[in-house]
Structures are given as C-alpha cells and as structure tokens.
Amino acid sequence: MLLTDKVCLITGAASLRGIGRATAKLFAQHGAKVVILDLDAGQAEEAARAIGEGHLGLACNVTDKAACQAAADEVVSRLGRIDVLVNNAGITQPLKFMEIEPGNYEAVLDVNLRGTLYMSQAVVPQMRQQRSGSIVCMSSVSAQRGGGIFGGPHYSAAKGGVLGLGKAMARELGPDTVRVNSITPGLIQTDITGGKLTDELKVEIAKGIPLGRLGVADDVANACLFLASDLSSYITGAVIDVNGGMLIH
C-alpha cells in the first residue's frame, strides 16, 4: 500500500484501455483516493466508479487554464489536499513533416504540452502549501529518438517540450519539496494508435525490442506508481524509460 490516503489526480484517464485508467486502478489498489479527469464528466465519473468506492471523476479540458484551476479547487474542497498529479492526457497524429497544418500543430501541442503546464500550475500552490507533492509528466520515446513510430514530428516536438518543462519545474519546485519527473513510454498497446497497430506490425516491431514484446498500459502504470510514491523520494528531474529496450542511450 504505497499510496495510502494520498489524493492522486490523473488527467485523460477515462479511456478503458489507456495508460491513465491502468494507473488509476493501480493507485486505488495501493490505497490512494483517485481523481480521474477527462473531457466528458460522465465518462470520468463512470471510470472512477469502476475502480471502487471513494474516488472522483471530474470534467476537465486541460487546454483550458480556468478549467484546470476549477478542477484543482474542487479536489481540495472535497478531499482536502493534492499529493500526486499524473499529466497523462495526450493526443497524437500520424502525419509527415510537410503535412502538418496550423490546426494539427495547435491541437497536439495544446493537449500534450500546454495541458501539462496548465494542470501543473493548478496543483502547485496546494503542493507548496503542503510542502510535498509529486508530479509525473508523460512524454514519449518519440521525443528521444525523433519520432518514427506513430506520432508525427509535431508530436515529437510536444513530448520533447514536456521533458524540458518537467526538468525546469523540478529545478524550481525542489525547494518546496515538490518532485517532478517524466516517463517516456515506448510503443504501448492502447487505443491512441487508432487501430493502426495490426498483429503483423506488432510482430515486426517486437523484433527490434530487446525484451521481445510491445508494452502494455500496466508497464507504464507501474513506473507512475514508483514516481508517485515515497520509494522515489530523492528523485526529481529524472526521465524513466519504459520501452523494453527499444531505445538504449
């Protein structure tokens, strides 16, 4: 029970097969009070009920600064504190460099990078007041290897921005005992690939992964649990690779 009575917010966690939902379920198993944030209030509430009693589901568009603040305020009002934030909400688009239009750029950068900024800004005052907190930012192996999987170059740019933002936040918030770390998943079998991950493609990709398989959402959830818990109390500004050895550097 690594998170007993800790209040943990997870953005983009309503999707049944997603990393956010797997993380929410694992956190609940470790005693956390989980708050699932997603665009649709009904889906967020349903996801919260699915992981057990005493958890919350709230609507929140992470690209809207006021919505992030409202969600954080409601959590503090109802649960009294915020111990962990997992910035999981994200979208991708499989576009080539010259195919990226302004709308594509804005959509991907907004959710992945602006959303990480706004949601973190919303919870930091409470964490500073408590003089404790852990923020986990979801980047991607695409940021490290320059794409080449499913996301386009603008996705790599957004996730690279997440890494830089997370490190800068860690440096600034360290004196307040607020830790900030990032996770860089490899190819994880979730719905974000939009059905493009065929069985044949899975076999081909797995040939280039030392551990011989693609990742699943629980693999990333386990890393989130480590970074959220006191097991990582002296770790901040770090990047944890969860890619089966796809990228060893």
Just list the catalytic residues.
155
β-bridge mates for residue 9, sequence order = 35, 85
- C-alpha distances (whole Å) from 233 to each of 153, 172, 177 are 34, 17, 9
Q: How many distinct helices (H) and strands (E) make up the chain? A: 9, 7
Query: Residue 155 contacts by C-beta under 8 Å, 6 or more apart in sequence?
Result: 92, 93, 108, 112, 140, 142, 147
In the Cβ-directed half-sphere of 34, how many Cα atoms lie within 13 Å? 33
- 220 close to 186: Cβ distance less than 8 angstroms: no
For residue 59, the SS3 value is: strand
